Chains A and B, each alone.
Chain A
Amino acid sequence: MKKLLGIVMSAVMIMSIAGCGKTASGTAQAGVLVMATNAEFPPYEYHEGSQIVGIDAEIAAAIAEKMGCELQIEDIAFDSIIPEVSSGKADMGMAGMTVTEDRKTNVDFSDTYAIARQVVIVKEDSGITSLDDLEGLTIGVQQGTTGDIYASEEFGDDHIERYAKGMEAVQALSQGKVDAVIIDNEPARVFVSENEGLVILDEAYADEEYAIAVKKGNTELLNQINAALSELKADGTLDAIVAKYISAE
């Protein structure tokens, strides 16, 4: 009897550490790690040719490799990522997503893999030089991002214009439809370098931490992701991926 119990126990243990490729892994479909993202957010994730590339995409690929899974990336609206993850359609959400209390009630977050700041983009000739100048102006944001949530709270709904994509908010800024755009630092730098006449304010709007979202209670997958992340941090892969996309200041 004891022997049998031992066999069963070890079988359970093997299955639980085996990860992808076995039916008992934390992913919904064996062997496949489905990542939900919104590929409109360079340099974290964006379309290049027929592929989705970027920091998140590469880190995810490295995690999937460590887990022995095949990575499958789904491009959906940013505000649909958490519902997708919590309903189990995707195994993890990775989209330059900041850890917030609200989001924590809906999903579990992995360890932080990147630090980001929310910055303000304005027109060069706008005369806006500090955060104080934003009071009473119209601010463009990407709907559902932390920039949207913080700014809505601080400046009021009437002063916020929520675009589906960061690119559209920036386009509205260049066209003079909004006075400023609050968005994450890295995409902001890409947007500014590709659009004439835009600058980022020196003063950051907020600092925050990016993490990977998984379904609430799926500790098995979460542990696998965290283990992979810490390995990637330790061997320098993480820094190398970030450095590849973001040139040091």
Chain B
Amino acid sequence: MFEDFKQQLILNFVTEDRWRYLANGLLVTLKLTFFAVLLGLVIGFTIAIIRNIYDNTGKLKILNFLCNVYLTIIRGTPVVVQLMIIYFVIFGSVRIDKALTAILAFGINSGAYQAEIFRSGIQSIPRGQMEAGRSLGFSYFRTMVYVIMPQAVKNVIPTLLNELITLLKETSVAGYIALEDLTKGGDIIRSRTYSAFLPLIAVALIYLVMVLILERIVKLIERRLNKNDKR
């Protein structure tokens, strides 16, 4: 039994340096997640601001409409379909770096969700604060920057980090465009050794460990943020 297991371990991870598929895949997964979440942050923040301006002042009507279309489409379709559309349709006839394609796809996808997170953060600040700021002579933007945003951002940081964790797991569909991320790495080993158990369990464990580490970080940050909250 133990000998068997050892042989399987060697076959799946040591022979022909197969562990490299997992190691390289992990790097790709981390790279995808990191840059996609950054891109999503920029998109999400911008959209939240645009929608908030429209809600409060009625300006930017067209931009607000476009944002709503974007949110509807992105949140209404699966990320793997979006990924394939970007790779095989939008960049249909060009040779484009696959990692870049995936970062764009996951970033655009995550942006939609982050937009909603930011918006809920802004809405969590009582309207009275905006009114107070305005009546003290601050412009809309100044009130936003100095009063609303510092509190809103603080409120949404834990939710944003959870979005990061979700995104990390969502990138596992990157294999659909032949990008060799962690999941695909396990798949390649599986296609070489024909054993299902070890490659899949190894991949699952690596994701789990990364998520646990991220969750620990979220907890630490949350505690730090709550320090001077007297709630």
Smallest CB–CB gap between B193 and chain A, Å? 8
Segment from A13-21, A42-50, A108-116, A162-170 that makes contact with B: A162-170
Within 8 A of A (CB), among B177-196: 178, 180, 184, 187-188, 190-196
Smallest CB–CB gap between B46 and chain A, Å? 31
- Assembly CA distance A80 to B94 (angstroms): 32
Residues of chain A within 8 A (CB-CB) of B180 are 162
Quick check: A144 and B195 within 8 Å, CB to CB?
Answer: no
A197 within 8 A of B: no
Quick check: A175 and B178 within 8 Å, CB to CB?
Answer: no
Quick check: A79 and B178 within 8 Å, CB to CB?
Answer: no
* Residue of B92, B93, B187 touching A143 (CB-CB under 8 A): B187
Quick check: A103 and B194 within 8 Å, CB to CB?
Answer: yes
Residues of chain A within 8 A (CB-CB) of B175 are 164
Contact A79-B95, Cβ < 8 Å, known A106-B194, A168-B178:
no
- Assembly CA distance A86 to B193 (angstroms): 12
Quick check: B192 and A176 within 8 Å, CB to CB?
Answer: no
Which B-chain residue is minimally distant from A177 (CB atoms)? B95
A40 within 8 A of B: no
Smallest CB–CB gap between A161 and chain B, Å? 4
Quick check: A172 and B196 within 8 Å, CB to CB?
Answer: no
Which A-chain residue is minimally distant from B193 (CB atoms)? A102
Quick check: A82 and B93 within 8 Å, CB to CB?
Answer: no
Within 8 A of B (CB), among A162-195: 162-164, 168-169, 171-172, 175-177
Within 8 A of B (CB), among A80-124: 80, 82-83, 86-87, 102-103, 106-107
Contact A176-B93, Cβ < 8 Å, known A162-B180, A168-B178:
yes
A149 within 8 A of B: yes
- Assembly CA distance A102 to B178 (angstroms): 23
B146 within 8 A of A: no
Residues of chain B within 8 A (CB-CB) of A56 are none
* Residue of B88, B176, B196 touching A83 (CB-CB under 8 A): B196
Smallest CB–CB gap between B104 and chain A, Å? 15
Residues of chain A within 8 A (CB-CB) of B191 are 78-79, 143-144, 148
Residues of chain B within 8 A (CB-CB) of A140 are 178
Residues of chain A within 8 A (CB-CB) of B95 are 175-177
Quick check: A102 and B92 within 8 Å, CB to CB?
Answer: no
Smallest CB–CB gap between B78 and chain A, Å? 16
Residues of chain A within 8 A (CB-CB) of B195 are 83, 106
Quick check: B194 and A82 within 8 Å, CB to CB?
Answer: yes
* Residue of A79, A103, A168, A169 touching B187 (CB-CB under 8 A): A79
* Residue of B92, B98, B184, B192 touching A175 (CB-CB under 8 A): B92
Residues of chain B within 8 A (CB-CB) of A103 are 194
- Contacts A79-B194, A143-B188, A176-B93 aside, 14 further interface pairs with beta carbons under 8 A come to A79-B191, A80-B190, A83-B194, A102-B194, A106-B194, A144-B191, A144-B192, A148-B191, A161-B98, A162-B188, A169-B178, A171-B88, A176-B94, A176-B95
* A residues neighboring B (CB under 8 Å): 78-80, 82-83, 86-87, 102-103, 106-107, 140, 143-144, 148-149, 161-164, 168-169, 171-172, 175-177
* B residues neighboring A (CB under 8 Å): 88, 92-96, 98, 175-176, 178, 180, 184, 187-188, 190-196
12 contacts between A and B (CB under 8 A): A79-B194, A83-B196, A102-B192, A140-B178, A143-B191, A144-B190, A149-B192, A164-B176, A169-B178, A175-B93, A175-B95, A176-B95
Q: Which 10 pairs show the lowest CB-CB distances between chains A and B?
A: A144-B191, A79-B191, A82-B194, A83-B196, A106-B194, A161-B178, A163-B178, A176-B95, A177-B95, A175-B93
